[in-house]
Amino acid sequence: MKHRIHLAVLLLLATTSLADTGPLGFGDSALETSMKTDRPDFTEGTHTIQAGHLQIESGYTYTKRKDGLSEEDTGTFPELLLRIGTAKDFELRFTWVGYINNQSNTEKDSSGLSNVSFGMKQTIVEGTESLFDLGYILELGLPTGDSSVSSDKLEPVLKFLWSSELANDFSLGGNLNIASVSAESDRVNEYSYSVSLGTSLTDICGTYLEIFGIIPEDNKNLADSHFINGGFTYLLNSNFQLDVRAGFGLNRASDDLILGAGFSWRV
């Protein structure tokens, strides 16, 4: 009987201890900040997921490009980003664009599964004493996808992140990125940038406007592309957000139209 009482007490203590931790079994069960996401814009934020919690972000994107008589339509789904808070100001990341469907009226259609990427994000400067919050993302793309739509080589990416809170509920953020990508039989550095201005329309609705671009090193197979993009976010509750976005290219090598929608769920 005494052993049963001891066992019951131990189980009660263990249950109480787990109840005070995050869903991953560590960290604090109480969420300290409002929900922040890396989608739907191109810009990755400086914020990280609280330790012991995770966030799932997913969506669909449609792009259309015309060049003379040539037309190309592309759809991607589920654009999965899994973010796992492992320590203060630090998260692990799993990224998978998913199924890519390219359809062209002048070339053979190409469809298949994308590569997956594993990485980490860290906030390195945060707080009221600094004008900017700063962070970085380090990722490695693995050759797991179909050859028709993805690379068969490792592709490392480094992203430098910055953001700043402005007056009247406005915020400004951006990225400077460098990636080593495969282009035909070559490997080239690919640079990208973004600047995003966001604001809250209400307590549950927000909007943003963004400019971003991708600039490969001099290569006959790749060209610069620059875009403008905007969208809206809507909080169904404190841990679930919907988003929509639209954009267009600013030069000939860019997609003419970008449309997308998705969701983010914090656990």
Q: Which residues of the chain have pLDDT under 50?
A: 9-17
Give CA–CA dist 46/122, Å, rounded. 8
**The residue type at 27:** G
Q: For residue 72, what pLDDT is reported?
A: 94
DSSP symbol at 89: T
- List, in order, residues 6 or more apart from 34 with CB less than 8 Å away: 238
What are the domain boundaries of the chain?
1-29, 31-266
How many helices (H) and strands (E) in the chain? Answer: 1, 13
Q: For residue 141, what pLDDT is reported?
A: 98
Give CA–CA dist 104/66, Å, rounded. 10
Within the chain, what is the greatest distance between any pair of CA atoms? 85
CB 132 within 8 A of CB 160: no
CB 196 within 8 A of CB 170: no
Q: Is the pTM of this model over 0.85?
A: yes
Q: For residue 129, what pLDDT is reported?
A: 65
Q: For residue 6, what pLDDT is reported?
A: 57
Q: Which two tokens stand for residue 189?
A: 């550095």
**The residue type at 246:** A
What are 87-122's pLDDT values in tens digits?
Answer: 999 999 999 999 999 999 888 888 999 999 999 999
Pairing mode, strands 155-165 and 257-266 = unpaired
End-to-end CA distance of the chain, in Å? 39
| Residues facing 261 on adjacent strands | 60, 244
Q: For residue 140, what pLDDT is reported?
A: 98
Q: Report phi then psi at 72, rounded to 5.
A: -135, 130
Q: For residue 117, what pLDDT is reported?
A: 98
What are 198-228's pLDDT values in tens digits?
Answer: 999 999 999 999 999 999 987 667 789 999 9
Could you give the C-alpha distances from 45 to 41, 54, 55, 171, 265, in angstroms and in order?
10, 16, 14, 11, 16
Give CA–CA dist 103/154, Å, rounded. 26
Reference 215, options 183, 249, 177; nearest CA is 177
CB 214 within 8 A of CB 190: yes
Q: For residue 89, what pLDDT is reported?
A: 95
CB atoms under 10 Å from CB of 208, counted, come to: 20
Grouping H, G, I as helix, E, B as strand and the rest as coil, residue 202 is: coil
Q: For residue 14, what pLDDT is reported?
A: 46
Pairing mode, strands 116-125 and 186-200 = unpaired
Question: Domain 31-266 falls in which CATH fold?
Answer: Lipocalin (2.40.128)
Q: For residue 222, what pLDDT is reported?
A: 79
- List, in order, residues 6 or more apart from 117 with CB less than 8 Å away: 93, 94, 95, 96, 139, 140, 141, 142, 157
